[in-house]
Amino acid sequence: MLKGRVNEYTEQTKEGTQYRRRVLKDFSKLLDDEIEKIVLFMIEQQGLIAARLEDLGKRRARLQDIPLLQEITELREDYRSVGLDLVTLLKFVELNANAVRKILKKFDERLGYKFTDYYVRSRSNHPYSQLQQLLTTIIDLVISELLKKDPIIDLITATADKLTNSTNFLRFLGQHALIAQADSTAGTEDEQHVGEDKYHLMSLVLNFANTFLYMVNTYIVVPTADGYATSLGAAATACGAVIGSMAVAQVFSSVYFSAWSNRSYFRPLLFSSVVLLLGNVMYAMAFDLGSLTILLLGRVLCGMGSARAVNRRYISDCVPPRIRMQASAAFVSASALGMACGPALAGLLQTNFSLYGLTINQITLPGWIMAFGWLVYLIWLWISFQEPDLGPDAKDFYEGSSSSTSTRYMEQEKMEQGFTEHLLPSEQDEEDDNGDEEHNETLSSWTTTLRPASSVASAYTLLTPSVKVQLLIYFMLKYAMEILLAESSVVTGYYFGWDIGTVSVFLAVLGLSVLPVNAIVGTYISNMFEDRQILVASEMALLTGVMLSFKLTAEYTAAQYVCSAVLTFVSAEVVEGVNLSLLSRVMSARLSRGTYNGGLLSTEAGTVARVVADGTITAAGLLAGEGRLLNATLLPALLVCVASIAATLSTYNSLFY
């Protein structure tokens, strides 16, 4: 009925017989009436379930006095029946929520209005409304009366979590990886065990080890990069070029590694290990060769070995759905630990001696240590990695031509723009780009519609305004973090006289804060507030941290620097967690697989941010000198942060929570 009305409005507005204000008022009332029917029916069904639970409670009380095995069994089955009816009710709400979202999207598309924003803003309730509290109470009552290991409990919990978008630390952390997760409430048992034949534990551990070593390799040089640059006759601020040259290469390596992983996992990991081994040897030997060029080429070669795209793809394609979230969380944890261990390891390498004519000191040891680490990893990889069987149709799979792939994409397609409310999930959108496709379309048309992006251009066309804003936010936070980390040795040495050991401890402590911060946000804060509320608040906190970092007086104290740096870094971590959580939900399912996937896009946005930040440090050092480096690099970070906040507020009502 609503779809028919939208078609009528479209024709009437074209003919000039209907006015904008009248259309909005009429459609608002129609939609309100339909939603009211849904809510009233839901309340009625909740009442019936509550009455059944009350009756079952009385039977349970009688059985406590005279326990009869047969009646206890029957009572438990009745509780299971109530649980199944509860799941049906939850899915009813989800189905209708999806319908509301789709009709709002169609209304905006057909009439060119931004009605969805107004409707969400004027109708949305707080996440912990009375209706949700009633629903939560009934769920808890049903679960409490079932056996702890009863499968129906998992089904109820998964359905409720999916509907309310509730989260926990594991799920929150896993979303950082932007790896497609399984839907635990849908699909057959066979579908839930897809990938069991490809799964190999040691190969998965090798992927974790690869990302851990790479992150160590990235940050182990940060405390000593300025000293290395000066020892070769360059300015201390050339540390930006030393650190950033690795990120420059990663911009390109991420693409070819993502494409390579369509056909193999072992060969790109092998290539990555060899390239990183050679790159670190060049980095270490640049000191004795007295060549800044060799130093930079060594770091570029290390960036060419970035196989994080392969690590993500392996988890997405070869890890069974039942443990994919745990694997995603482990991937993010390995990255965080590597980020912390890099500077900490650099602080321990305080030595100076010669070996076979090679200088071994605190500047060159990071290169030699990492070269040895990649050599050990290379041997381990060669012995233990098991290449999964991609099958003869692997290429077709990644191009989206198989019917089974199309079916999964149909189930995974996420809402790209529109409406959500405290009980409205961001669920699959079964309409095509023009909003005209119906639920009974043939599978062949879905194969074309939901095929993965095959180029950068096609991937860009799938980016909605909400996704673009989230990528901008990701760029901003990575830029701010890179400015803070990369120039830390120069700034602290210039103002406070910190040595390498002190800088290393400071950076290691910052890195170790990643997991605790994500634990607090994922377990508590994200269940108390909407993601978009947390996002804006943390962006404001990050902006505050950047502003407090400026040197505005004659005296600049270590306390001011440390406090502002901690606020900036922790806020950036919160922003990153919420940002990637939102991005994993608003990004099209067409970007969940293939070469040009969501993980690659976010990696590229972050890597470009690091390149720009490191370039800013080097340029500011050459133009302004070390004395003005801090303010010169913080000003662009401040402007980018303000721009991201403005963009967030402009799309606030289209963000899913």
User: CATH no. for residue 52?
Assistant: 1.20.1050
Q: Is residue 417 part of a domain?
A: no
Task: Mark whether 151 and 235 lie in a shared domain.
Answer: no
Domains identified in the chain, total number? 2
Residue 433's pLDDT is 41
- pLDDT tens for 276-288 read 999 999 999 999 9
In terms of domains, do 222 and 303 share one?
yes
In a domain, 413, yes or no: no
pLDDT of residue 229: 92
Confidence of residue 475 (pLDDT cuts 50, 70, 90): very high
Q: What is the pLDDT of residue 182?
A: 53
pLDDT of residue 594: 66
Residues 158 and 258 in one domain: no
Task: Give pLDDT tens digits for 160-204.
Answer: 666 555 555 556 555 655 555 555 444 444 444 445 566 788 999
Last residue of a domain, one of 114, 147, 178: 178
Going by pLDDT thresholds of 50, 70 and 90, the confidence category of residue 89 is confident
Element (DSSP H or E) covering residue 354: strand 352-355
Q: Quick check: 225 and 239 in contact, CB under 8 A?
A: yes
Measure the CA–CA gap between 583 and 381, rounded to whole angstroms. Answer: 33
Report the C-alpha gap between 211 and 213 in whole angstroms.
6
d(CA 578, CA 531): 6
Query: Is 450 a member of any domain?
Result: no
Q: What is the dihedral angle through the alpha carbons of 90, 91, 93, 99, rounded to the nearest 10 degrees?
A: 170
pTM: 0.68
pLDDT greater than 80 at residue 346: yes
In three-state secondary structure terms, 498 is coil
In a domain, 432, yes or no: no
CA dist 570 and 581 (Å) reads: 17
Q: Would you give the DSSP letter of residue 146?
A: S
* Same domain membership, residue 376 and residue 311: yes
pLDDT value of position 150: 59
Name the pairing type of β-strands 352-355 and 358-361.
antiparallel
End-to-end CA distance of the chain: 29
62 lies in some domain:
yes
Task: Assess whether 210 and 335 both reside in one domain.
Answer: yes
Is residue 415 domain-resident? no
- How confident is residue 426, by pLDDT bands cut at 50, 70 and 90? very low
CB 611 within 8 Å of CB 244: yes
Two structure tokens written together for 318: 């070869």
C-alpha separations of 146 from 73, 141, 202 in Å: 11, 9, 37
What's the pLDDT tens digit per position in 521-547?
777 777 678 778 888 999 999 999 999
- Is there a single domain that holds both residue 172 and residue 206? no
Distance between CA 474 and CA 386 in Å, rounded? Answer: 34
Do 212 and 153 have their domain in common? Answer: no
Examine the domain organization and report whether 163 and 223 are in the same domain: no
Q: Rounded to 5 degrees, what are φ and ψ at 353?
A: -160, 175
Residue 250 and residue 370 share a domain: yes
Domain assignment present for 446: no
Do 164 and 269 share a domain, yes or no? no
Listed residues 178, 210, 229: the one ending a domain: 178
Determine whether 13 is exposed, middle or buried from the number of CB atoms within 10 Å of its CB (0-12, 13-18, 19+). middle
Domain that holds residue 9: 1-178
Confidence (pLDDT) at 534: 87
Let me know how long the chain is: 657
Residue 135 · residue 46 · CB < 8 Å:
yes
CA 340 → CA 449, 450, 505, distances in Å?
43, 39, 9
pLDDT at 368 over 70: yes
Q: Cα(614)–Cα(356) distance, rounded to whole angstroms? A: 35
451 within a domain of the structure (yes/no): no
pLDDT at 518 over 60: yes
What pLDDT does residue 303 have? Answer: 93
Q: How far apart are CA 255 and CA 251, in angstroms?
A: 7
Mean pLDDT value across residues 495-507: 91
pLDDT level of residue 614 (50, 70, 90 thresholds)? very high
Q: What is the pLDDT of residues 369-423, one digit of tens each?
A: 999 999 999 999 999 999 987 665 444 444 444 333 443 333 333 333 333 333 3
What is d(CA 203, CA 319) in angstroms, rounded to the nearest whole number? 10
Check residue 428 and give its pLDDT: 42
What pLDDT, in 10s, does the model give residues 125-151? Answer: 544 344 454 555 556 656 555 555 556
Q: Which of 428, 453, 563, 576 is nearest to 506 (CA)?
A: 563
Q: Are residues 275 and 362 in the same domain?
A: yes
Of 163, 178, 193, which closes a domain? 178
Determine what percent of the chain is predicted with pLDDT higher than 70.
73
Structure tokens at 89: 């009710």
Task: Check residue 422 and give its pLDDT.
Answer: 35
pLDDT 10s digits, 571-588: 998 888 788 777 766 676
Whether residues 169 and 306 share a domain: the answer is: no
**DSSP label at 360?**
E
464 has a pLDDT exceeding 90: no
* Position 115, amino acid: F
| pLDDT for residue 420 | 32
Please compute the mean of the pLDDT values over residues 507-514 and round it to a whole number: 87
Q: Which residues contact 279 (CB under 8 A, 6 or more apart)?
A: 298, 299, 300, 301, 302, 303, 304, 305
Q: What is the mean pLDDT of residues 340-348?
A: 89
Averaged pLDDT score across all residues of the chain: 78
